[in-house]
Structure formats: C-alpha cells, structure tokens
C-alpha cells in the first residue's frame, strides 16, 4: 500500500536512515527518496550510502505537509476545484446537521460554480451568521403529523375485510 503523504511521526528522530530504509518505512520507491534529497532533504554527506538524519527527515516531511495548507477564515468555505478558500456566492450557504454538535455547510463557489464544503461546529454558527446567510433544513415531521396519509399502507384493505 503506497502512502501519498508520509507521516513524519513514524520517523525516529535519534536514528540515521539509508535511502532504502526510508523507502521501506514509508512504502515508497527508492527514487522517491532520492527525489526528496534533490528537493532539499539534507543528508550527512554526499558519499554512498547516503545517510539521512531522523530529525532532518521528520522536519522535511512536516514542512512538505504544511506547505500547501490554507486555513479558511470566518465566512469562507473550501473549493476543491479552485483549491482555495472562497467566500460563497451571494454569501449564501446551506447547513446540514450530521450530529447534535457538528454539521456541514455547503455553498456555491463564485468563481467556478462548483459546490464548496466546510465542516462546522453548531456553536460556531452564530459567528458565521453575521457574515453568511445560512439556510437550515426544515424540521422532519412524523408520519402521523402529515396532512396526507402514506400511500404505502394497507389500511383500506384491512377495513374492508374486518
């Protein structure tokens, strides 16, 4: 199983690694580790076998993971197509509850018109309410409260035979 984003917490910082050991640790090819060296992963010296210090490897992988992260500000949702946080079109968003505490906000991106999403805590919705017009889903009603009875029932059949 290949790992797309190697976890820097798997590295023992007080240990030295060879290219083959790093490749085995993260289940990547040796050429991937050599490419990391070309991209700036420090090595002890330029002689073979190349030795990579554990703390240098952990720092390099941590930097690679956080380099492209972009935090959404208040009132922004993340657009996967644009790969950037955006303010929703017309400042409108829909809230879909997942649990009692957490739900999803979804809106339309003003640039590419695709769906944007953000996981949000229900207690933070008041802060967002000043910046966004949030639409909540209607309350679900029980079947007994419906003005029209269910069409799936056999009530008329049972009444005729009784």
Whether 3 maps to a domain, the answer reads: no
**Domain-located, residue 34:** yes
When pLDDT is cut at 50, 70 and 90, the band that residue 6 belongs to is: confident
Task: Place 59 in a pLDDT band, splitting at 50, 70 and 90.
Answer: very high
Kindly report the CA angle at 53 between 47 and 56, in degrees rounded to 5? Answer: 120
The total number of residues shown for the chain amounts to: 162
* pLDDT value at residue 15: 93
Q: How far apart are CA 9 and CA 61, in angstroms?
A: 9
Structure tokens at 13: 């910082």
Average pLDDT (76-94) is 85
Instruction: Give me the domain span that covers residue 33.
Output: 8-67
* This prediction's pTM: 0.52
Higher pLDDT among residues 45 and 60, named by residue: 60
Domain boundary among 41, 67, 93: 67
Q: Check pLDDT > 80 for residue 130.
A: no
Q: Does residue 99 sit within a domain?
A: yes
């Amino acid at each position: 199983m290949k790992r797309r984003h190697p976890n820097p917490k798997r590295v023992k910082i007080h240990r030295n690694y060879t290219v083959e050991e790093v490749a085995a640790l993260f289940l990547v090819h040796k050429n991937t580790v050599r490419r990391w060296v070309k991209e700036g992963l420090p090595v002890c010296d330029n002689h073979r076998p190349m030795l990579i210090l554990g703390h240098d490897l952990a720092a390099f992988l941590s930097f690679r993971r956080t380099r492209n992260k972009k935090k959404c500000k208040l009132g922004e949702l993340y657009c996967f197509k644009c790969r950037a946080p955006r303010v929703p079109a017309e400042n409108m968003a829909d809230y879909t509850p997942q649990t009692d505490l957490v739900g999803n906000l979804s809106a339309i991106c003003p640039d590419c018109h695709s769906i944007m999403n953000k996981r949000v805590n229900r207690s933070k919705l008041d802060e967002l309410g000043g910046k966004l017009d949030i639409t909540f889903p209607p309350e679900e009603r029980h079947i007994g409260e419906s003005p029209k009875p269910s069409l799936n029932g056999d009530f008329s059949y049972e009444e005729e035979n009784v």
